[in-house]
Amino acid sequence: MTNYTPPVQDMLFVLDNVVGLASVPEHPDLGKLDADSVASILEPAADLASNVLASINHSGDKDGTKLKEGVVTTAGGFKDAYRQYCEGGWNAVVFDQTHGGQGLPWLVAFAVQEMWQGANMSFGLCPLLNQGAVEAIEAHASEDLKHTYLPKMISGEWTGTMNLTEPQAGSDLAAVTTKAKRDSNGFRIFGQKIFITYGEHDFTDNIIHLVLARIEGAPEGVKGISLFIVPKFLQDGSRNDVLCTGIEHKLGIHASPTCTMQFGDVTGDRGGAVGYLVGAENEGLKYMFTMMNNARLSVGLQGVAIAERSYQHALAYARDRVQGASLSKKDAAKKDTARVTISHHADVKRMLLSMASQVEAGRALAYEAALCLDLAKAGDVAARAKVDLLTPLVKSWCTDMSVEVASTGVQIHGGMGFIEETGAAQYYRDARILPIYEGTNGIQSADLVFRKILRDKGEALKVYLKEFEAVLGDLKSAKGDDLETIHAQLKMCYEAVGKASQHLGVLAAEDMEYAAAVSVPYLRGLAGGAAGLMMARSALAAQELLSSAEGDPVFLNKKILHARFFAESHLPIATAAAQSVLTSARTIVAAEF
């Protein structure tokens, strides 16, 4: 079992040179953040990730969680790891200082979060969901509710959950049947929610559930849904009428309890779960999107993290596994090279390059969205539009990528990858949930096409595509075969996405079903191009540092090599996806099953 080493050098390169720490608004106490100040944050986080969280990842996968009489016991070491995580102040990194947070930018927080998810994704899901709950309460709850819940949720003394899904209402939240009945003190909640991550656990004394429910007499459909805070324990210390009635047996993330939660009618004598209305009645779905959009970017970041972990695991194995002889003429004359490690074989090199380049592209794309979050929070309207556009790209592309990369990691291990003891299979199993939850990637594609492009007639997209034109200009004026190759491939992808975008409008005008039919290949074309754009920026930054004799030349040349490989091997896939938008809509709609 290999160790996990957070890629701090790679992270700092993206933060400082590709995305740009210089663009982050000043911190009220720390002032302008630079690479040195961010490194002082990342290094202790890396220590906790590698030495505490990573060490219980495999054992947690084997042991899982246990439920007995409504009480969930987490895997060995997880509760103590959470204690260390909170004592280090890590739960408060990005939150508002008004309620005890540290107020650090999302750009820095994403780098820190990547470590938790890469070290131990099952563990990292707990703070991820809490983060979204805090965001929703901060944005929409009354001052009294904020004062009651945020300080302890930000410190980590309490954790938060998101309760949307019901047995009959998965992605179709209009079908939610959980009820909220008025009483003299507010509301009582009755209903069942499923797939609730960390709905019950032993990390903390209290768990704060954010629950979608329909107030009696509210309109049908999504217009009648409200959002409620439903704590496990009430302020007087009494137990609320809410209980975990089951935990799921899953393909992966075994150490993360995925719970069925019963609100009301648990004991028959408490009269329903006490719930506190967040914001206005019937505005719950709008409020919950604050939490969901936050979580969607974080899930994309999880994809980057688990792909990085899988890559490290595969690289270590490839460097150690001796198999076959080298085909290289330069090695043929050496008497001691009859057999070599598989890292010398061309196809294994190809697979490792594919893994590394996709991870780097995903990281840069996710961090770019994080910077936009920071700028939007500071009032930048254009940044708000850009992060809205990037959210489905980050969520979909990075999570699909994670499954591909983790699968490649199993392949590099050969037959041993199919054996659980090597650990490679866990990353594949864990990654497989990522394209599904927080809105399947098909839903992300529909969100991109209908809400982010067609709704505003592509205005935000037009602005974003200008960034491609600027980078293409920089590449064209740069010297060297590597950058010329990147330019040629990025230009083809950019042109294909442009044609696909125009055709999307034509299809939508004729029949919305046609636009829906090609929404996934359209997203893959645009998102793959966006990832290629970030890799082009990475190559340009590395070349500039090399020209000025700054930085580690081995590290920087590797960045250029990875960018070139991505352009040669992955941008053509994005280009093809965009081109298929022009031809496949009617074929898909004509199909019957």
Active-site residue list: 438
Tell me the DSSP string of 180-194.
EEEETTEEEEEEEEE
β pairing state of 242-247 and 258-263: antiparallel
Tell me how long the chain is: 593
Q: Side chain identity at 366, as an amino acid letter? A: A
Q: How far is CA 227 from the centre of its chain?
A: 24
Token pair recorded at residue 492: 């083809």
Residue position matching structure tokens 């992955």: 570
Q: Side chain identity at 105, as an amino acid letter? A: P
Residue position matching structure tokens 């866990």: 426
Q: What angle do CA 322, 324, 327 make, to 5 degrees?
A: 120
Contact yes or no for 425/417 (Cβ under 8 A): yes
Residues 6 or more apart in contact with residue 76 via CB below 8 angstroms = 56, 59, 60, 63
Tell me the DSSP string of 12-78.
HHIIIIII-GGGSPPBTTTBS--HHHHHHHHHHHHHHIIIIIGGGHHHHHHH--EEETTEEEPPTTH
CA separation for the pair 129, 56 (Å, rounded): 20
β pairing state of 226-231 and 273-277: antiparallel
Q: Which of 334, 387, 404 is nearest to 569 (CA)?
A: 404
Contact yes or no for 7/308 (Cβ under 8 A): yes
Instruction: Count other C-beta atoms under 10 Å from residue 378's C-beta.
Output: 12
Token pair recorded at residue 539: 């190559």
Residue position matching structure tokens 């590394």: 356
Residue position matching structure tokens 């994670």: 402
CA separation for the pair 282, 266 (Å, rounded): 26
β pairing state of 206-215 and 158-163: parallel
Residue position matching structure tokens 């081995």: 554
Q: Which of 432, 360, 445, 444 is nearest to 399 (CA)?
A: 432
CA separation for the pair 358, 345 (Å, rounded): 20
Q: Which of 485, 282, 302, 309 is nearest to 396 (CA)?
A: 302
Q: Which of 43, 42, 38 is nearest to 17 (CA)?
A: 38
CA-to-CA separations, 499 to 396, 506, 534, in angstroms, rounded: 21, 11, 21
